[in-house]
Every structure is written in structure tokens, then in C-alpha cells.
Amino acid sequence: MRERHTPARRLRWYDLITPQALGLGVPALLLAGSMSVWAATGLFENTLGQVQVWLIRFTGLNLFLDFSNLLILGMALWIMSRVTDPMLPARFVSLSRKSALIGVGAGLGAVVVSSVIEYLSDRYLHTNLAQDSSTTMVLPHSIDQLALGVFTVAVMAPLTEEVYFRGIVLGWMRRHWGMAWAIGLSSLVFGAMHLKWLMPGGTSGMVSTVELVAMGVLLALVAVRTGSLWTSVITHAVNNLCAALAAVFLAQ
């Protein structure tokens, strides 16, 4: 008798949307529900003002992002666990010493290149990227903020973004358009979704977006080259960790 082969479970277009919808939708629904309760109790105006202040401060913003990223990461991991498509370029496979060193080296290289780009942009395009980078609200700016800041930008963000962009988005695009287009397009999506072109916008925003797109290309190449998302997570984490440490110690 012929053996029946179960067809590979491929990524679908809605797999790209579901994690982001969950990560943004659940916090929005919780906030809307809370507002309804506050309105019913007559505390809407005072409490809303306090929430707005809390969300634009370091602790509130980081906790909000961590909650959103946790939802996105959980959904993305669930999707990845169900996908059996061999076309996926990278998964959480065992990390070799060589792959770990590639990740660390690529992360440190990205820091150096980014610093040079920011210096040249500030000098010749009259931007203020060096200061903007160190004063980003999500980054820690004192020792007491360091633990939460590092957890947000160097742990949660790399894990979430690598599973989503280099795992799901890159894998889906590779299936439809091939590896080269997948790397380019997924990196454009990665850069655009950080919204630097909108805030701060202008020349600074465009240069920052180009930096992020280039970083996306590097992360994709690292993931594809080693076949492991762990390597691109390390690259991403090293880059973000250096940014967090610089924001703290340069502010002292």
C-alpha cells in the first residue's frame, strides 16, 4: 500500500496579520474597557489623564510594549510551531558556537556602522541622530531604569521581531517571491513598521528608516546564513543592548 504523506503546512497571508492584530488589539480593547468603567463611575477625565501621563513615561511605555510584544511573540511562536513548510529559511534550531560568534560579531559591526552613519548624517545633513538615539523614550537613561530598559529592548524586542519578521514574514515572502525579494521586502516592512519616517519624520526620520532597513537586511542574511533565528536574535540583542548602555552611561 502507498503511504499517505501529509501536505506541508505553509504560512498563509493571515499569519502575517494575526500576531500584530493580537498585539495591538488586546491592549486597545483592555484600554477601551477600562475607559468604559471609568466613564460609568465618573472617573473618566481624571483617570484618562493619569493613563496618558503613565504611557508617555519610561516605565509605563516599556511595560505596555512588553505586554504587546509578549502577545505578538506568543502568537508568532504558535504559528511557527504549526508550520511544517521546508521553505522557511530559519527556525529556532540548535545554536552552534560558530553561529553565536557570527551573531555577536554582526551585532557589534552593526553598532559601528550605525554610529558612523549617524555621525556623517549629523555632520553633513544637519540631523541630530546621535542625540535622538540616546534620548529615545523607550531606552533607559539612568541606572535604576537599566534592568527594565534592557529587558524591553534587548530581550523582548529581539525575540519578538526575529520570530515575526525573520521567521514568519521572511518565510512567507520567500515562498511567493524567492529569497532575494523576500530579504529586501521583509527588511522594508521591518524599517517602515518602526515609524521613524513619521516620528521624528523629516531627514532624521528618513535616515533612521534607511538604517533600520539595512539592519533588517543584515538580520535576514544572518538568519538565512546560519538557518537559526537564535543567531539573528543575538545580533539584534547585541545591537540594542549597546544602544541601551550608551543611553545610560552617556547621559551620566
pLDDT surpasses 90 at 104:
yes
In a domain, 62, yes or no: yes
Q: Is 60 helix (H, G, I), strand (E, B) or coil?
A: helix
CA 103/CA 73 separation, integer angstroms: 21
In a domain, 191, yes or no: yes
pLDDT surpasses 80 at 29:
yes
Q: How far apart are the first and last CA of the chain?
A: 74
For the CA atoms of 165, 169, 170, 174, the dihedral, rounded to the nearest 10 degrees, stands at: 180
36-95 pLDDT, tens digit per residue, is 776 777 666 666 666 676 677 888 899 999 999 999 999 999 999 999 998 899 999 999
pLDDT surpasses 80 at 18:
yes
In a domain, 5, yes or no: no
In a domain, 126, yes or no: yes
pLDDT of 36: 77
Confidence of residue 133 (pLDDT cuts 50, 70, 90): confident
Q: What share of the chain is helix, strand, coil (3-state, %, to 5)?
A: 75, 0, 20
* Cβ–Cβ < 8 Å for 172, 19: no
Q: Above pLDDT 70, what percent of the chain?
A: 91
Q: What's the domain range around 87?
A: 13-249
In a domain, 8, yes or no: no
- Residues near 175 by Cβ (< 8 Å), separated by ≥ 6? 10, 11, 85, 87
212-228 pLDDT, tens digit per residue, is 999 999 999 999 999 99
pLDDT surpasses 60 at 2:
no
* Domain total of the chain: 1
In a domain, 3, yes or no: no
pLDDT of 1: 44
Answering whether pTM is above 0.75, one says yes
CA 59/CA 148 separation, integer angstroms: 8
Q: Which residue has 473618566 as its cell numbers?
A: 44
Tell me what the mean pLDDT of segment 20-29 comes to. Answer: 94
In a domain, 90, yes or no: yes
pLDDT of 44: 60
In a domain, 231, yes or no: yes
